[in-house]
Structure 1
Amino acid sequence: MTQLPKYVTEPLTDFTVEENRKAYEQALEKVNAQLGETYPLIINGEKVQTETFLTSYNPAKKTEVVGHVSKADQALAEKAMQAADATFATWSKTPAEERAAILLRAAAITKERRHEMSAWMTLEAGKPWAEADGDTAEAIDFMEYYARQMLELKDGKPVQSRNGEKNTFEYRSLGVGVVISPWNFPFAIMAGTTVAAVVAGNTVVLKPASTTPVIAYKFMEILEEAGLPKGVVNYLPGPGAEVGDYLVDHPRTRFISFTGSRDVGLRINERASKISEGQIWIKRVIAEMGGKDTIVVDSEADFELAAQSIVKSAFGFSGQKCSACSRVVVVGDEAYDHVLQRVVQLTKELQVGDPQNGDTFMATVIDDKAFAKVTSYFDVAKEEGRIVVGGEADDSTGYFVQPTVVADVAPKARLMQEEIFGPIVAFSKATTFEEALAVANNTEYGLTGAIISTNDEHIERAKEDFFVGNLYINRGCTGAIVGYQPFGGYNMSGTCSKAGGPDFIGLHLQSKSISKALV
């Protein structure tokens, strides 16, 4: 492979340009024409139809079927595991340059199909145009970035040698990885966690989220077109309690890459720690498990910047991001009143509706379970604070929850502690910056956080003492960019694996030290 150009991120689409709007509308027309189709499993490159299906619905039109996807059982999970295990013997020996080239081809194909892939997420995940476009751009970034990262690691790293001895430090692939991906970034995280494992020479059994399996199938089409050999990635949608547990427990599983809730992540970690008959290694777990993320607004801050950052971070994709702002702590009465009032104004201006409308900022939550959970917090909000905007929902046609701001919430209240994963943000007041920082740190999570301040001393204090894996200064707390802000958090937010960063590929490798005596 020739020298690659320097990594740069895929630019976001400017939908104020009429040409781009028309292109996205055409992609939506194309995807709408394909709704309701049936999709097979893919095991060792073979398409496998089953008698039972997972049915994917459009959350904005809850009776509209996006697709029927074959549902795996344990027997098919075993077949997929055997295919991945057998393929590992050859794939792990494939030169890193060839593996990276496949990722780059997949990135190029994705660029060609960009609006189509985004349109699938608009229909299947309820993502408005900008959110879906950002998801696809991030998927492209992961492919481009991880290809380059693997090329940097393929020859190992330098170590010291001495007279009469040559020492080398090399990397080897791990084995079969089980990738369990989420529905909220159904392309970016699903693709990113898969290709990171693959470019490192591992094989994968991919179990996508049951609510968004069609976009994962479309990604499988891209991998096949890019030339990925059969058996390297095996597509296996199915119930977590049956198929997921079986794969996690399997003695040939070498590592699990999971993105999802805290409870499921802890369950996976516990199961992975137990040795199955025939298992000869400690399974590695790479987990990103959620957050309860805070924006701290100092009394010395740009209040308009703070309000804009809060609204975007809290309500982008209906707050269904592990990095979403769900807590705001403002220092001082005057600042609190000013920021709260402006956030209420901006929230009222948001356009909530069908994600297929290019002017929609926020659409739905993902399904009926999410709708029930999120709306249950309205009663909690009335008990713990006061709802100043929002607090309404309608699931007659889709799962629409209005963006909701709750004022005057105590630091230890449920709204300030529990991950809601929806468009609800709680406001709390602090008298000093030190108190605000203490409130920001008072959860079991530690994923993202932001500080809005013009006080250099306070900013430096936050850099040292704000206990999160991703800290943002004078901007919102969402929107990490691959290669620029490696993503992953502390405590119950996961293993701080730092997706999109220089250490991530290394989590999918094991090192080998070789010492040769020179005689």
Structure 2
Amino acid sequence: MIPYAHEPLTDFSTDNNQNAFLEGLEKVKKELGRHYPLIIGGERITTEDKIVSINPANKEEIIGYVSKANQQLAEQAMQIADVTFKTWRKVKASVRADILFRAAAIVRRRKHEFSALLVLEAGKSWVEADADTAEAIDFMEYYGRQMLQLKDGAQVKSRPNEYNRYDYIPLGIGIVIPPWNFPFAIMAGTTVAALVTGNTVLLKPASTTPIIAAKFVEVLEEAGLPKGVLNYVPGSGGEIGDYLVDHPKTRFVSFTGSRDVGQRIYERASKVQEGQIWLKRVIAEMGGKDTIVVDKESDLELAARSIVASAFGFCGQKCSACSRAVVVKDVYDDVLNRVIQLTKELTVGDPTKKETYMGPVVDQNAFDKIMSYIEVGKKEGQLVAGGEGDDSKGYFIQPTVVSDLEPTSRLMQEEIFGPVVGFTKAKDFNEAIDIANNTQYGLTGAVITNNRMHLEQAREDFHVGNLYFNRGCTGAIVGYQPFGGFNMSGTDSKAGGPEYLLLHMQGKTTVEAL
């Protein structure tokens, strides 16, 4: 079995690594404007209707053109996935795992190339793109190893003259709908989890970042994945997304994205269609409104740095991002003032440059939505840092801090998904935990305190799926910090954890009388 080693992040302080990354950028730039076909049953299909992938840092630059599936092509992919499932489900689990290990090795060799594509297609900084690619590698290797552990099922007892077995078998056809904000890591993780467990997949990538998905499908082909096991079907949610979720042959849907879309999928998947003989399973991760709580007995410099890193990494476009700081009144002003200082030091600009901390937000819709929330924040609290946006060339927004907000204000309740953090004052630690819990979400949170009893109180009472002590609330590592949240943050599926693959399988008991 491949030993577990978390894929290391690249040290960009060395000239060798800087030059290697610049070479990756040059390689990707030479491929700008390419056309990418659908892949159904291994066949390349080009359509007239295209998704145009645009560089969010430079609206004039087209990354590529991606053929768009319609319902007819989606149906073709369903039929092929249905036929292919009959053979793929019988391929040994060890063989399926080996494909993941080979794919991980291919990506590792081309790591900077994939990260460079993330810089151009998603607007990620070097560091954020590198972490995204590393996480994709981690997912492939972790799920491959997990499948080797699960391939023989679970132990059950047998009785005299009776032999019992409990095996895991695949579900069937899965629809994988990944997000644009981790267009490699989450897209790869959700896809290979479904594949390694013996299911066939229709992958509908995010329309803002479809090319990284196309490149990944090519990697899996190179690694030996048989034709028809994975079908690449980009397209609009309205035209093919609903169609695939509703389809009677769909056995499960794996979705990561907004709460509104997740609720819609959950509702549609619950309806039994004509000819459907199962209840569809939904694996959903639907966002958050994540809080860092700062106690009066804490390292205030650590608190400020944790808030800034968690709020503004990748422009706050993470479901785990800190969008709320709840600070006990005794240290509120000190923490806020230090956060303002640190925020004003951040560099915003062209993500192809190594020194850029924050690139653009993903598109015009995101820019408009975030800027409208900043206007709301000006009315609800005090704008103390940032607040400016410029969409003349790309979609750039300055990291923004809004202080003195009411816990029930819109800025403290609604998911903004941008570089905006709101500050609220709590009279004591008990109230801080109450405020942290007052949202419909429950994904991540953090507590900065040197009071052991307060840490234990938070462990029991701070209701989130991933809770961090004395560090930021982003950056879960595959295999170390299984990731998924409570309430409207989704089905708490815990990606990168020991139980995740089981969501893609079902248990079968066989009893033999001897």
Q: Give the 3-state SS of the residue equivalent to 1:99 in structure 2.
A: helix
- 1:276 pairs with 2:264: no
Give the Cα–Cα distance (whole angstroms) in 2 for the partners of residues 43 and 6 of structure 1.
Answer: 34
- The equivalences for 1:166-177 within 5 A come to 166-177=163-174
Give the Cα–Cα distance (whole angstroms) in 2 for the partners of residues 232 and 379 of structure 1.
Answer: 47
Which residue of 2 is the match for residue 403 of structure 1? Answer: 399
What is the Cα deviation at residue 5 of structure 1? Answer: 3.5
AA at the equivalent of 2:377: A
Give the Cα–Cα distance (whole angstroms) in 1 for the partners of residues 14 and 308 of structure 2.
Answer: 24
Which residue of 1 is the match for residue 101 of structure 2? Answer: 104
TM-score w.r.t. length of structure 1: 0.99
- The equivalences for 1:217-228 within 5 A come to 217-228=214-225
What is the Cα deviation at residue 172 of structure 1? Answer: 0.5
- 1:338 pairs with 2:334: yes
- The CA RMSD measured in Å over matched residues stands at 0.5
Which residue of 1 is the match for residue 481 of structure 2? Answer: 485
Which residue of 1 is the match for residue 303 of structure 2? Answer: 306
Give the Cα–Cα distance (whole angstroms) in 1 for the partners of residues 226 and 430 of structure 2.
Answer: 55
- The equivalences for 1:420-499 within 5 A come to 420-499=416-495
Give the Cα–Cα distance (whole angstroms) in 1 for the partners of residues 158 and 221 of structure 2.
Answer: 43
Residue pair 2:2, 2:145 contacting (<8 A) in 1 also: no
AA at the equivalent of 2:385: V
Give the Cα–Cα distance (whole angstroms) in 2 for the partners of residues 183 and 378 of structure 1.
Answer: 22
- 1:11 pairs with 2:8: yes
Which residue of 1 is the match for residue 511 of structure 2? Answer: 515
AA at the equivalent of 1:350: L
Match of 1:288 among 285, 288, 294: 285
Give the Cα–Cα distance (whole angstroms) in 2 for the partners of residues 516 and 80 of structure 1.
Answer: 38
AA at the equivalent of 1:219: F
Q: Deviations over 1:133-162 (max 9, x none)?
A: 000000000000000000000000101111
Give the Cα–Cα distance (whole angstroms) in 2 for the partners of residues 112 and 163 of structure 1.
Answer: 54
What is the Cα deviation at residue 382 of structure 1? Answer: 1.0
Query: Structure 2 regions of 5+ residues with no counterpart?
Result: none
| Poorly superposed stretches of 4+, deviation over 3 Å | none
Which residue of 2 is the match for residue 355 of structure 1? Answer: 351
Match of 1:382 among 378, 382, 386: 378
Give the Cα–Cα distance (whole angstroms) in 1 for the partners of residues 375 and 84 of structure 2.
Answer: 53
Give the Cα–Cα distance (whole angstroms) in 2 for the partners of residues 243 and 112 of structure 1.
Answer: 34
What is the Cα deviation at residue 369 of structure 1? Answer: 0.2
Match of 1:208 among 205, 208, 228: 205
TM-score w.r.t. length of structure 2: 1.00
Which residue of 1 is the match for residue 387 of structure 2? Answer: 391
What is the Cα deviation at residue 332 of structure 1? Answer: 2.0
Match of 2:72 among 75, 87, 92: 75
Q: Give the 3-state SS of the residue equivalent to 1:271 in structure 2.
A: helix
AA at the equivalent of 2:511: S
Which residue of 1 is the match for residue 141 of structure 2? Answer: 144
Report how many residues are paired.
Answer: 514
Match of 1:119 among 116, 119, 122: 116
AA at the equivalent of 2:181: N
Q: Deviations over 1:311-370 (max 9, x none)?
A: 00000000000000000000123x111110110110011111100001111011100000
Give the Cα–Cα distance (whole angstroms) in 2 for the partners of residues 170 and 5 of structure 1.
Answer: 23
What is the Cα deviation at residue 216 of structure 1? Answer: 0.4
Give the Cα–Cα distance (whole angstroms) in 2 for the partners of residues 134 and 349 of structure 1.
Answer: 22
Larger deviation, residues 4-13 vs 265-274: 4-13
What is the Cα deviation at residue 515 of structure 1? Answer: 1.3
What is the Cα deviation at residue 200 of structure 1? Answer: 0.1
Give the Cα–Cα distance (whole angstroms) in 1 for the partners of residues 21 and 302 of structure 2.
Answer: 30
Give the Cα–Cα distance (whole angstroms) in 2 for the partners of residues 502 and 381 of structure 1.
Answer: 41
Q: Give the 3-state SS of the residue equivalent to 2:253 in structure 1.
A: strand
Give the Cα–Cα distance (whole angstroms) in 2 for the partners of residues 398 and 338 of structure 1.
Answer: 34
What is the Cα deviation at residue 215 of structure 1? Answer: 0.5
Give the Cα–Cα distance (whole angstroms) in 2 for the partners of residues 445 and 8 of structure 1.
Answer: 32
- 1:419 pairs with 2:415: yes
Give the Cα–Cα distance (whole angstroms) in 1 for the partners of residues 374 and 80 of structure 2.
Answer: 48
Which residue of 1 is the match for residue 317 of structure 2? Answer: 320
Q: Give the 3-state SS of the residue equivalent to 2:499 in structure 1.
A: coil
- 1:153 pairs with 2:150: yes
